[in-house]
């Protein structure tokens, strides 16, 4: 009870029930509401309740628990007809007495308020109890705790990324080393095609992995957010920014784990800078897929609807990535879709960095992906991720509480 009282005094709304509290617990109550048969017997400071009933000639005995006294006083005694009539009459009397007390109190309070605030401007009511930065701090603190507590999700993310990375590494073991050691030798074209295939599959794996980590969990979280938002607990902006910041480390860690295994087992170019570029690109592809899924899950009514919509956009991003069909063979009325495919730009960035400076194959890569510069790839990846996040934020605001426009 001391803890609940402390939380209430710090601005939290506390709802609790307690049966026949002891006297030391009763002294913790700030205000007291006594009801009998749905009618108010008393409402006011708990410390004034004994004196109030004493004024009505209902005195609490010395060394007697006030809570027990009040329960006996306002309860109906059904042990006999006479006692029932007596207790009901007492309840009627207490109700009338409190109504008169309340009217007198209200009249006195109105007079004091009119005298005190007659010439003072009315202060504008604040929409939120805390500042934006305070909200962001506490939302991030809560989100970070939730990430740490989700042990099963964390273990599953690490396990699946490790398993897929090892499988890919074993299937394409040392193919990159063999190719880059002799890019013009026998079997170079087959190794080149194999490398394009594994880079494309890495993009698919990271995109779908990020999608499924969000698609079923976020709609449940959204329901909680909308309920807390309706009560004015925090702003949508603080929740959304806090969620994005606190969940980024997990995806960054799983990304570095996946990249470290696949990159060196496949035998891509042994350069620390190129490895870092590979890792950042893989993470940006995953982050774009996650951001797109969050936007769709925010707009959809439930997880089932989101699960039926997200694959459509994912498949479009894959089809127009430039790997399955050359860009010059895509019909003109559909060709524009390739320019919004985040997988296309992620795949292009990784492929360009790996085959840059390699005779013959550098020109082949430029022909395949349309001479897109590396800078353009990263600008588009960052911009698309921000656009998806902004869309999700907008949808969350639009789908807010129906009758509370200020939120």
- The answer to whether the CB of 14 falls within 8 A of the CB of 7 is yes
In the chain, the percentage of residues whose pLDDT exceeds 90 is 33
What are 167's two structure tokens? 């499988």
Alpha carbon 310 to chain centroid, angstroms:
19
- Lowest-pLDDT range, 6-15, 88-97, 315-324, 339-348? 6-15
- Lowest-pLDDT range, 29-38, 42-51, 252-261? 29-38
- The answer to whether the CB of 351 falls within 8 A of the CB of 285 is no
Secondary-structure percent of the chain, ordered helix, strand, coil, rounded to 5? 70, 5, 25
Could you give the CA distance from residue 151 to residue 288 in angstroms, rounded to a whole number?
Answer: 24
pLDDT at 291: 94
Could you give the CA distance from residue 236 to residue 244 in angstroms, rounded to a whole number?
Answer: 12
In this prediction the pTM is 0.68
- The answer to whether the CB of 150 falls within 8 A of the CB of 245 is no
Q: What count of Cα atoms within 13 Å lies in the side-chain half-sphere of residue 75?
A: 9
pLDDT at 285: 95
> Which H/E stretch holds residue 325?
none
- The answer to whether the CB of 255 falls within 8 A of the CB of 283 is yes
What average pLDDT does range 302-309 have in this prediction? 85
What average pLDDT does range 274-281 have in this prediction? 95
pLDDT band of 209, cuts 50, 70, 90: confident
- Lowest-pLDDT range, 14-23, 271-280, 294-303, 345-354? 14-23
Q: What count of Cα atoms within 13 Å lies in the side-chain half-sphere of residue 342?
A: 28
What are 62's two structure tokens? 């010395």
pLDDT at 170: 95
- The residue count for the chain: 407
Phi-psi region of 45 (alpha: psi -120 to 50; beta: other; left: phi over 0): beta
pLDDT band of 292, cuts 50, 70, 90: very high
What are 129's two structure tokens? 């109890």
What average pLDDT does range 326-355 have in this prediction? 89
Q: 253 Cβ partners below 8 Å, 6+ apart?
A: none
- What three-state secondary structure class fits 11? coil
What are 166's two structure tokens? 């090892």
What are the tens digits of pLDDT across the range 354-371? 998 888 888 888 887 777
Neighbours of 223 (CB within 10 A): 10
Q: Please give, one letter per residue, the 3-state secondary structure of 113-156.
A: HHHHCCCCCCCCCCCCCCCHHHHHHHHHHHHHHHHHHCHHHHHH
Q: Give me the phi and psi of 248, to 5 degrees please.
A: -65, -40
Nearest-CA neighbor of 128 among 219, 221, 239? 239
pLDDT band of 23, cuts 50, 70, 90: confident
What average pLDDT does range 195-204 have in this prediction? 93
β-strand partners of 42? 34
What are the tens digits of pLDDT across the range 98-138? 888 888 777 665 555 555 545 555 455 556 667 888 889 98
Instruction: DSSP letter for 324, please.
Output: S
pLDDT at 289: 95
What are the tens digits of pLDDT across the range 225-263? 877 776 677 888 899 999 899 988 889 999 999 999 999
- Lowest-pLDDT range, 199-203, 234-238, 301-305? 301-305
Compare 225 and 159 and report the one with higher pLDDT: 159
- The answer to whether the CB of 53 falls within 8 A of the CB of 59 is yes
Phi-psi region of 232 (alpha: psi -120 to 50; beta: other; left: phi over 0): left
Q: 177 Cβ partners below 8 Å, 6+ apart?
A: 267
Q: Is the predicted pLDDT of residue 49 greater than 50, yes or no?
A: yes
Give the gyration radius of the chain's Cα atoms: 34
Could you give the CA distance from residue 105 to residue 97 in angstroms, rounded to a whole number?
Answer: 12
């Amino acid at each position: 009870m001391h803890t609940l009282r402390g939380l209430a005094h710090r601005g939290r709304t506390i709802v609790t029930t307690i049966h026949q509290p002891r006297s030391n617990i009763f002294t913790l109550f700030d205000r007291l509401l006594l009801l009998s048969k749905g009618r108010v017997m008393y409402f006011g400071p708990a410390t004034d309740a004994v004196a109030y009933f004493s004024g009505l000639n209902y005195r609490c005995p010395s060394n007697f628990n006030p809570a027990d006294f009040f329960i006996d006083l306002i309860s109906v005694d059904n042990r006999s007809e006479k006692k029932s009539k007596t207790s009901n009459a007492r309840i009627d009397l207490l109700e009338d007495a409190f109504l008169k007390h309340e009217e007198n109190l209200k009249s006195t309070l109105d007079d004091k308020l009119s005298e005190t605030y007659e010439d003072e401007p009315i202060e504008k009511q604040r929409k939120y109890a805390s500042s934006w930065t305070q909200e962001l701090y506490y939302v991030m603190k809560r989100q970070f705790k939730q990430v740490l507590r989700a042990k099963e999700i964390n273990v599953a993310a690490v396990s699946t990324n490790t398993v897929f990375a090892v499988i890919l590494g074993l299937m394409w073991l040392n193919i990159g080393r063999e190719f880059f050691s002799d890019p013009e030798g026998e079997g170079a074209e087959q190794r080149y095609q194999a490398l394009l295939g594994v880079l494309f599959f890495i993009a698919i794996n990271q995109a779908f992995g990020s999608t499924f980590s969000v698609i079923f969990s976020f709609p449940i979280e959204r329901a909680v957010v909308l309920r807390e938002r309706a009560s004015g607990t925090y702003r949508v902006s603080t929740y959304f920014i806090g969620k994005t910041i606190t969940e980024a480390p997990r995806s960054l860690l799983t990304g570095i784990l996946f990249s470290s295994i696949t990159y060196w087992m496949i035998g891509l170019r042994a350069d620390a800078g190129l490895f870092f570029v590979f890792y950042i690109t893989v993470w940006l592809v995953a982050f774009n897929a996650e951001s797109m899924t969050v936007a769709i899950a925010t707009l959809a009514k439930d997880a089932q609807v989101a699960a039926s919509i997200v694959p459509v956009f994912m498949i479009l991003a894959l089809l127009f990535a430039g790997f399955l069909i050359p860009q010059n063979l895509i019909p003109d009325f559909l060709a524009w879709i390739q320019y919004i495919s985040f997988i296309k730009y992620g795949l292009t960035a990784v492929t360009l960095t790996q085959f840059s400076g390699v005779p013959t194959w550098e020109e082949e890569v430029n022909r395949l992906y349309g001479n897109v510069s590396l800078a353009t790839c990263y600008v588009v990846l960052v911009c698309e991720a921000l656009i998806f996040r902004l869309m999700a934020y907008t949808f969350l605001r639009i789908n807010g509480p129906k009758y509370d426009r200020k939120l």
